[in-house]
Structure 1
Amino acid sequence: MPSRSASPAGKTSVSRQTSAARSVIVAILAGLTAAGTIAGTALSAGAGPRDTSEAAAAGEPVSTSLDDQVEAAIPVLDWQTCGEGLEDFLCATAEVPTDYDQPDGDTTTLALTKLPATDPENRIGTLFTNPGGPGGSGVEFVQQMGKDAYTDEVRARFDVLGFDPRAVAASDPATCYRSYEEEMAALATQPAFPVTPSEINRFHSENLRMAVHCRMMSRERIQHSSTANVARDMDLLRQAVGDERLTYMGYSYGTFLGATYAKLFPDRVRALALDGTMVPEHYAGQPGREDASVGERLRQGYGASDTFGEFLRLCTEAGPDACALAALGDPETVVEETLERLKSDPAELVLPDGGTVEVTYATAVALTFSSLYEPGAWAAHAGLLTQLAAGDAHLSGAAAALAERSLPHRPRRGEDYPSVGGNMASTCVDSGTTGDPRGYADQAEATDKEAPHFGRYRAWIVLPCEYLRLTDDDAYTGPWDQEVDTPVLVIGTRFDPATPYEGTEPYAAHFPDARIVTVEGYGHTVLGKSSCADETISEYLVELSAPADGSTCSQDVAPFAGDATPDERTLARIPAVPLGQ
Structure 2
Amino acid sequence: MRPSSSFGSLLPIALWLPTALAGSEFNWTTLEASTTLHWTPCYSAPLQCTLLQVPMDYSAPQNGVTASIAIVRYPSTSPKSQYRGPLLFNPGGPGGSGVDAIVASGADFVTVFGDQFDVIGFDPRGVSYSTPTISFFKTEAERRFLIPSAENVIFPSLNASSTALADTWSHMQLLSQLAAASNMNGYLQHMTTDNIARDMLQITEAFGFEKLQYWGISYGSVLGATFASLFPDKVGRLIIDGVEDMEGYYSGNLTNAMLDTDKAMQTFFDGCAKAGTEGCAFHAASASEMPAKLDALSSAIKTQPFPVIAPQSHGIVDILFLRNAILDAVYAPYDLFAPLARGLAVLATGNATLLYTQNEVPNFECDCTNSSAALPFHENNFESYMTIACGDPVPINDTVGELQTFYEATTKVSSFADLLASTRVVCAGWKIHREGRFQGPVGAKNTSFPLLLVGNTIDPVTAHASAVKTSMAFPGSVVLTQDSVGHTSLVAPSQCTFGHFKAYFVNGTLPAPGTVCSVEAELFPSGSNNITVKRAAENSEDWKVREAANNIGRVMRKILRRTL
Distance 1:412 1:561, change over 3 A: farther
| 1:438-477 equivalences in 2 (<5 Å) | 438=400, 439-452=402-415, 454-477=416-439
**Structure 2 stretches lacking a partner, 5+ long:** 16-32, 368-375, 533-549
Taking the aligned partners of 2:560 and 2:346, their CA distance within structure 1 comes to 19
Shift of 1:441: 2.3
Q: CA deviation at 1:520?
A: 0.8
RMSD: 3.0
Query: Which position in structure 1 is the counterpart of 2:219?
Result: 253
Q: 1:534 aligns with which of 476, 483, 498?
A: 498
Equivalent residue runs for 1:295-444 within 5 Å: 295-296=254-255, 299-326=256-283, 330-343=289-302, 345-351=304-310, 353-374=311-332, 375-395=334-354, 402-404=358-360, 408-413=361-366, 417-438=379-400, 439-444=402-407
CA shift in 2, pair 1:340/1:466, >3 Å? same
SS state at 2:489 partner: coil
Q: Which residue of 2 aligns with 1:167?
A: 126
Q: Is 1:498 the counterpart of 2:461 in the alignment?
A: yes
Tell me how far 1:503 sits from its aligned partner: 1.1
1:234 aligns with 2:206: no
Distance 1:437 1:144 in 2: 43
C-alpha contact (below 8 Å) 1:26/1:575 kept by paired residues: no
Contact 1:271 1:541 in 2 (8 A): yes
* Separation in 1, partners of 2:481, 2:155: 35
Q: Give matches, 1:489-568, under 5 Å.
A: 489-527=452-490, 528-562=492-526
- What is the SS of the residue equivalent to 2:283? helix
Give the partner amino acid of 2:393.
S
| Residues 576, 188 of structure 1: alpha-carbon distance in 2 compared, 3 angstrom cutoff | farther
Separation in 2, partners of 1:228, 1:572: 24
Matching residue within 192, 201, 204 for 2:166: 201
Compute the displacement of 1:345 (Å).
4.1
Moved more, 440-449 or 552-561: 440-449
- Is the 1:134–1:427 Cα contact (8 Å) retained in structure 2? yes
For residues 49-78 of structure 1, the C-alpha deviation after alignment (integer angstroms, 9 at most, x for no partner) is: xxxxxxxxxxxxxxxxxxxxxxxx982121
Which of 120, 128, 141 in structure 1 is aligned with 2:101?
141
Aligned twin of 1:211: 176
Q: How many residues align?
A: 496
Tell which deviates more after alignment, 467-476 or 128-137: 467-476
**Aligned partners of 1:462 and 1:185: how far apart in 2?**
23
The amino acid that maps onto 2:271 is L
Q: Sort the Cα spacing of 1:427 and 1:558 in 2 relative to 1 into closer, same or farther, 3 A.
A: same
Report if aligned partners of 1:325, 1:386 keep a CA contact under 8 Å in 2: yes
Counterpart in 2 of 1:101?
59
Taking the aligned partners of 2:113 and 2:83, their CA distance within structure 1 comes to: 10
Shift of 1:409: 4.2
Identity of aligned residues (%): 27
The answer to whether the 8 Å contact 1:250/1:274 transfers is yes
The verdict on how the C-alpha distance between 1:556 and 1:118 changes in structure 2, with shifts beyond 3 A counting, is: farther
Show structure 1 runs of 5+ residues with no match: 1-20, 34-72, 286-292
For residues 67-101 of structure 1, what are the alpha-carbon distances to aligned partners after superposition, in whole Å with 9 as ceiling and x for unaligned? xxxxxx98212111113xx3231111111111112
For residue 146 of structure 1, what is the amino acid of its counterpart?
A: G
- Provide the secondary structure at the position in 2 that maps to 1:519: strand
| Segment of structure 1 superposing worse, 266-275 or 433-442 | 433-442
Equivalents in 1 of 2:556, 2:510: separation in Å? Answer: 30
In the TM superposition, what is the alpha-carbon distance from 1:376 to its structure 2 partner? 2.4
Q: Distance in 2 between matches of 1:350 and 1:145?
A: 34
Contact 1:27/1:575 (<8 A) preserved: no
For 1:233, the aligned partner's letter is D
Mapped contact 1:366–1:577 kept (Cα < 8 A): no
Q: What are the Cα deviations for residues 155-197 of structure 1, in whole angstroms up to 9, with x where unaligned? A: 3111110111112111122112221111111124995233211
Paired residue secondary structure (2:452): strand
Deviations 1:320-375 (A, max 9, x none): 21111116994322222233344454433343x25223334333333322322222
SS in 1 for 2:558: coil
Identify if the C-alpha distance between structure 1 residues 94 and 234 changes in structure 2 by more than 3 Å, giving closer, same or farther: same
Structure-2 change in CA distance of 1:87 and 1:360 (3 Å): farther
Maintained 8 Å contact 2:51/2:69: yes
Instruction: Give me the TM-score of the superposition, normalised by structure 1.
Output: 0.79
Which of 153, 157, 170 matches 2:116? 157
